[in-house]
Amino acid sequence: MSATAEGPVLDIRGLRVTFTGGARPVRAVDDVSLAIARGEVVALLGESGSGKSVTLRSVLRLHPPRKTRIEGTIRVDGTDVMTLEGAALAAFRGKGASMIFQEPMLALDPVYSVGDQIVEAILRHERMSRAQARQRALEWFEHVRIPSPERRLEAYPHEMSGGMRQRAMIALALACNPKLLLADEPTTALDATVQVQILLLLRELQRELGLSMLFVTHDIGVAVEVADRIAVMYAGRIVEIGSVRDVIRTPRHPYTAGLLATRAHGGRLSGNRLPAIAGSPPDLANLPPGCAFAPRCGHAGESCMHEAPPVVAIGAGHEARCVLLKTAA
Amino acid sequence: MRAATAEAFVRSPGYWVTVLRRFARDPVAVGAAMVVLGLILMAVFAPWLAPQDPLQGMTLKRLRPPGTDGHPLGTDELGRDMLSRLIHGARISLFMGIVPVFTALVAGAAIGIVAGYAGGWTNTVLMRTMDVFFAFPSVLLAVALAGALGPGILNSIIALTLVFVPPIARVAESVTTGVRSRDYVEAAKASGAGALTIIRKHVLGNVLGPIFVYAMSLIAVCMILASGLSFLGLGVKPPMPDWGLMLNTLRTAIYTQPLLCALPGVMIFITSISFNIMTDGLRSAMDIKA
């Protein structure tokens, strides 16, 4: 339809997010570039404070403008998100890109029925009658496989189970057929059994509707389950990006390798200690001059402490930010 | 077919219906609510309920104890029927308890919500102004304001309103600040809602309930303050029947007819404790989101 129909749905270039609200500016995201093709799912993998959620929220410009400095460009289906203001920004949110939140109990307003909230969201973007919007909400409820959807539309968030709420949240996010779906750890707050169901649902909906999705998670298993590509973030930067297969089977960045090693396997003998990455993530307000991971890295050399590591292409679409790869190549 | 399913939505009970149902399950709160309702009905129908004229006294029958023939609750220092005066007193006492709180609710909620939602300088200016009023104990502030404005019902209503604006504004501000940083506000923003929609639907919807309950709990305090003002001669003027004022005028008879003197105090006590228990029940009934 649009001129850029063949281009990436999401194109982030040189994104840099600095929070200026505190005593010292905190650079939460630094030089992140990422593109998502139509129908592709990319997982942003990282621990708390690695900047994955900040990146996600930047796409919808949800950071308080007075306390945040955002540099770089973000394009969603050709629209430059950074230049949107006022009504254009409101029209973009929910329609151009929409978001699934981590904790549906908190992300749904407790005093309105779930159906009302979806209807409101639809009416914000579509010219249709309330009855038509309601009909569409009902169809989405069926789509996300909520049993007895007519009755559930009238339910309040507290009357639903956690899994059901997250399904409703997904229906709410998809209600206006957004071009890009952002998911902020959508399974973290759920029970383990429900997590699997929600992941399967998301994967199914994604295939069925050809959704493009940016999926934030700290769980490697979830990332593998849902994503086509994985981007590993550390201290605000993408340290390794590649297809799920490449990143999981042949991790090239020491951090990614370390993350994979820390996973508990079923076959592991009980009583053995799980390997861990020593140390803790750096203070974002006080980053080391060189590689942010160097203080915790077993392979770090002298140069790692002083120079920022370059991005090294390893294979097709597989890149990592590490000096070791450069010398090896 | 599709239209038919759309029409066939089974309505699940709304938020307030659920709250009422939960409230109904608390027998103590329901009892208190009945007492409050009874007091309000008593105030409304006072002229029909009172056996005698509350202003007409007989100097020959002064300070009769409760149980006297024709005067089941006795007579006051001017020989007026106590029962009639207590029934009529409910009118002015409840009025003085409720009206200032509701006026303060409107003003305080507006100030608090604006301060809480806007944040920054707006918040600082509004809330520090409120804090200035907070620096005075409420009784002292009410007495000072009523004293400055002069005695009378209207002036004491104004004084009491001013006393209750700061606490309500503070509660409204803190609730609004809490709601503003909630995920559902961000979720609404993320689905394209403007600031006005967010205030109107998501902030007001979540903030008015708790503020209202808090204001209800102030009614008892306000009634006692109003009685205090009347007691000091700053509120209702004699010979109007007001519980606070009656407490004041009967004070002189405390050694001769102690039971009689206590009656207006008993009424104040019953009313304020009923309001308190009722709002407590309402508060816990509204806490269904957790």
Structural domain includes residue B252: yes
Q: Comparing B5 with A82, which gets the higher pLDDT?
A: A82
pLDDT tens sequence across A241-296: 999 999 988 888 889 988 888 876 655 556 677 778 888 888 888 888 888 888 88
- B6: nearest CA partner in chain A: A135
Tell me the C-alpha distance between B179 and B201, whole Å: 12
- Domain holding B224: CATH number? 1.10.3720.10
Q: Are A150 and B182 in contact (CB < 8 Å)?
A: no
Structural domain includes residue B216: yes
Give me the percent of chain A exceeding a pLDDT of 70: 94
- B203: nearest CA partner in chain A: A109
pLDDT tens sequence across B94-133: 898 899 999 999 999 999 999 998 888 899 999 999 988 8
Q: Check if the beta carbon of residue B26 is closer than 8 Å to that of residue B284.
A: yes
Phi, psi (rounded to 5 degrees) for A251? -65, 135
- Residue-range definition of the domain harbouring residue B135: 93-286
CA A181 to chain centre: 9
pTM attached to this predicted model: 0.75
pLDDT of residue B10 exceeding 60 = no
From the list A289, A158, A320, A209, the residue with the least C-alpha distance to B289 is A158
Mean pLDDT of A219-237: 90
B184–chain A Cβ distance below 8 A for any pair: yes
B114–chain A Cβ distance below 8 A for any pair: no
pLDDT of residue B212 exceeding 90 = no
pLDDT tens sequence across A154-183: 888 888 888 899 999 999 999 988 999 999
B209–chain A Cβ distance below 8 A for any pair: yes
Total number of domains in chain B: 1
Partner-chain residue, chosen from A60, A131, A151, that has the shortest CB–CB distance to B190: A60
Tell me the C-alpha distance between A242 and A230, whole Å: 6
Instruction: Please enumerate in sequence order all residues whose Cβ is within 8 A of that of A26, keeping only pairs 6 or more positions apart, or say none.
Output: A18, A19, A284, A285
Cis peptide before B239 (omega within 30 of 0): yes
Partner-chain residue, chosen from B6, B11, B209, that has the shortest CB–CB distance to A154: B11
pLDDT bracket for residue A232 (50, 70, 90): very high
Structural domain includes residue B10: no
pLDDT of residue B1 exceeding 50 = no
Q: Comparing A198 with B58, which gets the higher pLDDT?
A: A198
Position A269 scores a pLDDT of 59
Q: What is the mean pLDDT of chain B?
A: 83
Position B21 scores a pLDDT of 86
pLDDT of residue A306 exceeding 90 = no
Partner-chain residue, chosen from A90, A103, A115, that has the shortest CB–CB distance to B194: A90
Mean pLDDT of A40-63: 90
pLDDT of residue A302 exceeding 50 = yes
What domains sit in chain A, N to C, each tagged with a CATH number? 1-96+179-264+275-281 (3.40.50.300), 105-177 (no CATH)
pLDDT of residue A125 exceeding 70 = yes
Position B289 scores a pLDDT of 56
Helix/strand/coil for B123: helix
Q: Check if the beta carbon of residue B246 is closer than 8 Å to that of residue B264.
A: yes
What are the chain A neighbours of B193 within 8 Å (beta carbons)? 90, 120, 124
Q: Are A98 and B190 in contact (CB < 8 Å)?
A: yes
Q: Are A110 and B11 in contact (CB < 8 Å)?
A: no
pLDDT of residue B8 exceeding 60 = no
CA A294 to chain centre: 25
CA distance B198 to chain A (A): 11
Task: Report the residue of B191, B204, B212, B289 to disrupt the A interface, i.e. the one with the largest count of A CBs within 10 Å.
Answer: B191
DSSP code for A64: -
Structural domain includes residue B27: no
Instruction: Please enumerate in sequence order all residues whose Cβ is within 8 A of that of B104, keeping only pairs 6 or more positions apart, or say none.
Output: B160, B161, B162, B163, B164, B165, B168, B215, B218
What are the chain B neighbours of A156 within 8 Å (beta carbons)? 12, 15, 18
pLDDT tens sequence across B51-100: 877 777 777 777 777 777 777 777 777 778 888 888 988 888 889 889 99
Structural domain includes residue B217: yes
Instruction: Please enumerate in sequence order all residues whose Cβ is within 8 A of that of A167, keeping only pairs 6 or more positions apart, or say none.
Output: A141, A144, A145, A146, A198, A201
pLDDT bracket for residue A2 (50, 70, 90): very low
- Could you identify the residue written with the tokens 């907070």? B134
Number of residues that make up chain A: 329
Structural domain includes residue B181: yes
Structural domain includes residue B77: no
Structural domain includes residue B128: yes
pLDDT tens sequence across A74-108: 999 888 988 888 888 888 998 889 999 988 888 89
